Amino acid sequence: MVAVDTVWTYVILGAVILVGLVAYGANLVRGRGRTDERIAPPARAGLPAEDLDRHPPTEAADTLEPGTAAPAPAAPAEVETAGGTSPAEPVAPAPEPSVERPESARGRLARLRARLARSNSSIGQGLLALLSRGKLDEEAWEEVEDTLISSDLGVEATTELVDALRTRVKVDGTTDEATVRSWLREDLLTLVRPDMDRRIASSRVGDRPAVILVVGVNGTGKTTTVGKLARVLVAEDREVLLGAADTFRAAAADQLETWGARVGVPTVRSDKDGADPAAVAFDAVKAGIEEEVDVVIIDTAGRLHNKVGLMDELGKVKRVIEKQSEIDEVLLVLDATTGQNGLQQAKVFSEAVNVTGIVLTKLDGTAKGGIVVAVQRQLGVPVKLVGLGEGPDDLAPFDPEAFVDAIVM
């Protein structure tokens, strides 16, 4: 009996030990599973855990295309602390690039009158100094003529102005400065032609946008002018699209695209250097029609007016555009400092593409304001815009009265 009892004792003891070992092993396995779950990285909101490898977190972009929304920030992860879990500090999303809203260009030329007055001081101040001397002999009138011709007014216009002033002085018998200033303002305004239509095509025509083609020689600031014109039109609540048809200058399309992006205006361009400019212009007008914008502005490559092949190419650009839309405006960009050479450029471009308006740039650093009168007489088309500085909003619609007042005030 003793032997049997001893055997059962060992059996029971062994069973207890075995049960204990099994329980300990089970607890150990459950503990390891909880540990693995605690240190595993949390899944991103909106994606199941098994998709993490296939959908890695997207870093916030430094810049966004105009008109696109910023990506939504990911849900903040939880960080374990001594007191439990707490949300991690959220990472601030990258700021969206601001789209500028230019002020209206109406009356801008008057606001820039002081700068314009400095530009043309040799015309106004020089003439007033001569005309108010008290005695105007032939030598004094010759000096008046020289002053006007040196300002690029042109021989014909100079002769008209001097004859009108001489008649007034002779009839009235006075050289009082205030009186002479009034005469000079009146006669200059007549030469500048306030009756010319200086409106720029900027509204839809039927079911298509207005199309503006911008041309000119190298170095006149043509691409910059296109960018500034886009700002002027955006300020007037126009929807604008730009066409980068200057495919010869490597940086031209990038430059134009940057100008457009600043005011939320898209640019149609070619990804290939040296692409056919007529094809780019065609695509831009087509996109403008499809997107129902108000205005499409086409920038073209600068070209020398005496290069027949390049001028023929400009004519091709015009013809290709006209296969799907009329061209409502052809703006010729001229450097105000080029004088008579600029007039020759204007004549050749007008013959090639039927110029409808002039943009005079660099009028801020010159006393050659007479070019306004000369180029209008040469082409019979108005000066519509003037560049008075390098700032983004220094392009102003031309106002004849403000221009003349800046000269004589």
Residue 302 marked ligand-binding = yes
The pLDDT tens digits of the residues spanning 366-388 come to 656 788 898 998 889 999 999 88
Is 224 annotated as ligand-binding?
no
Average pLDDT, the chain: 76
Block residue for tokens 């920030």:
73
pTM of model > 0.75: no
User: Is 306 among the annotated ligand-binding positions?
Assistant: no
Residue 389 counted as an annotated binding residue: no
Annotated binding-site residue? 220: yes
pLDDT at position 194, please? 94
- The CA distance from 253 to 281, in Å, is 12
- Rounded Cα–Cα distance for residues 115 and 365 (Å): 9
Least confident of 6-20, 161-175, 203-217, 280-294: 6-20
Neighbours of 194 (CB within 10 A): 13
CA-CA distance, 315 to 312, in Å (whole number)? Answer: 5
- According to the annotation, is 218 in a ligand binding site? yes
- How far, in Å, CA of 383 to CA of 402, rounded? 13
Q: Which pLDDT band holds residue 189 (cuts at 50, 70, 90)?
A: very high
Give per-residue pLDDT as tens, 347-371.
888 888 889 999 998 887 665 678 8
**Does residue 85 have a known ligand-binding role?**
no
Q: What is the pLDDT of residue 119?
A: 58
Residue 302 has pLDDT above 70, yes or no: yes
pLDDT, tens only, 312-330: 888 899 999 999 999 999 9
Give the chain's domains with CATH numbers: 108-192 (1.20.120.140), 210-399 (3.40.50.300)
Predicted local confidence at residue 101, as pLDDT: 72
222 appears as a binding residue in the annotation: yes
Mean pLDDT of 183-206: 92
Tell me whether residue 58 is annotated as binding. Answer: no
Mean pLDDT of 282-288: 96
- DSSP per residue, 86-123: EEPPPPPPPPPPPPP-PPP-TTHHHHTHHHHHHHTHHH
Mean pLDDT of 214-222: 88
* CA 329, chain centre distance (Å): 18
Q: Residue range 165-176: average pLDDT?
A: 84
* 299 annotated as belonging to a binding site for a ligand: yes
* Residue 352 token pair: 């090639």
Share of the chain above pLDDT 70, in %: 68
What is the per-residue pLDDT for 152? 83
User: How big is the CA angle at 263 (ends 261 and 264), to the nearest 5 degrees?
Assistant: 60
Which residue has better confidence, 287 or 50? 287
